[in-house]
Amino acid sequence: MATMQIQAEPYPFELAPESTALLMIDMQRDFVEPGGFGEMLGNDVSLLRSTIEPCQRVLEAARRAGLTVIHTREGHRPDLACAPPAKLKRGGLEVGIGDKGPMGRVLVRGEYGHDIIPELYPAAGEPVVDKPGKGAFHETDLHLILRNRDIRTLIVCGVTTEVCVHTTVREANDRGYECLVLSDCVGSYFPEFQRVALEMIKAQGGIFGWVTHSDHALEVLSRIRAPDEAALATGAGGA
Ligand code: TIU
């Protein structure tokens, strides 16, 4: 399997395209648009919106390169049976998880606010993993999906850096995956948390991952030919 390298910290990130997935974490209206869960927690959602454009570029490049693309959404069943009581209670919010907000019931599957923003909407065939927690592996079939596709490395985008991105990257690391987090494609409501969260990932020799700017990933992704294209070029993919 031919490998490629993306310039990253603390050292270059090695990947083989066929065993690499792009993981888009929780780019949902509830986190990045006004009127959702993020705002109900007292946050300024505009801080997250700077991730949308770089995420669009990476998503397009990953699709062109033929990488597996997987999206996640944090949220709960309409009957809230998968929402831990502690999570429902947390924050003592006037309008909280399951309650009616401007974009429908907050963090409830099937509601307008729970869905992924149109700019980054999943394409047909791209798995969407609904997760009840912060980590994308907790009580989901993500690990099974990745193993079935022989995925071993993850390029990670999404929100928020110190919450769902961190939790997911830590879970992935413990399961043997190598994660590259794109610094401009992950966002936090708190600039200080953004900075420190990225530092934590790559500290101690890459204690649970690598960090780089999307420009470095895009440069490498642009050199990957999707399997269909490669087959056509060698004449192996004829009708
Ligand atoms: N509040 C916050 O920063 N994040 C979350 O609740 N979920 C995710 O990070 N997706």
pLDDT at 234: 73
The set of protein residues with a Cβ atom below 6 angstroms from ligand 1 is 26, 31, 41, 74, 134, 159-160, 163-164, 189
For 196, the 3-state DSSP assignment is helix
**Kind of pairing, strands 68-74 and 20-25?**
parallel
Give the DSSP letter string of 99-136: SEEBTEETTBTTSGGGSBPGGGPPPTT--EEEESSSSS
Note the pLDDT tens digit of each residue in 69-114.
999 999 999 999 999 999 999 999 999 999 999 999 999 999 999 9
pLDDT at 10: 98
179 in active site = no
Site to substitute for ligand 1 among 32, 159, 165, 190, most atoms within 8 A of C-beta = 159
Note the pLDDT tens digit of each residue in 150-164.
999 999 999 999 999
Closest by CA position to 209, among listed 130, 131, 155, 149: 155
134 in active site = no
| Look-up of token digits 């990488």 | 67
Two tokens at 211? Answer: 């960090």
- Distance CA(186)–CA(166), nearest Å, equals 10
pLDDT at 239: 43
CA of 39 to the centre of ligand 1 (A): 11
30 in active site = no
- Return the ligand 1 atom nearest residue 74 CA: 10
Rounded to the nearest 5 degrees, what angle is found at the Cα of 111, between the Cα atoms of 128 and 40? 105
pLDDT at 231: 75
Burial category of 36 from C-beta neighbours within 10 Å (exposed 0-12, middle 13-18, buried 19 and up): buried
- Return the ligand 1 atom nearest residue 25 CA: 10
Catalytic residue among 30, 55, 134, 164: 164
Give the DSSP letter string of 36-73: SHHHHTT--GGGGGGGHHHHHHHHHHHHHHT-EEEEEE
pLDDT at 111: 98
Catalytic residue among 30, 130, 131, 134: 131
Asked if residue 151 lies in contact with residue 20, where contact means CB atoms within 8 angstroms, the answer is: yes
Q: Which residues of the chain have pLDDT under 70?
A: 236-239
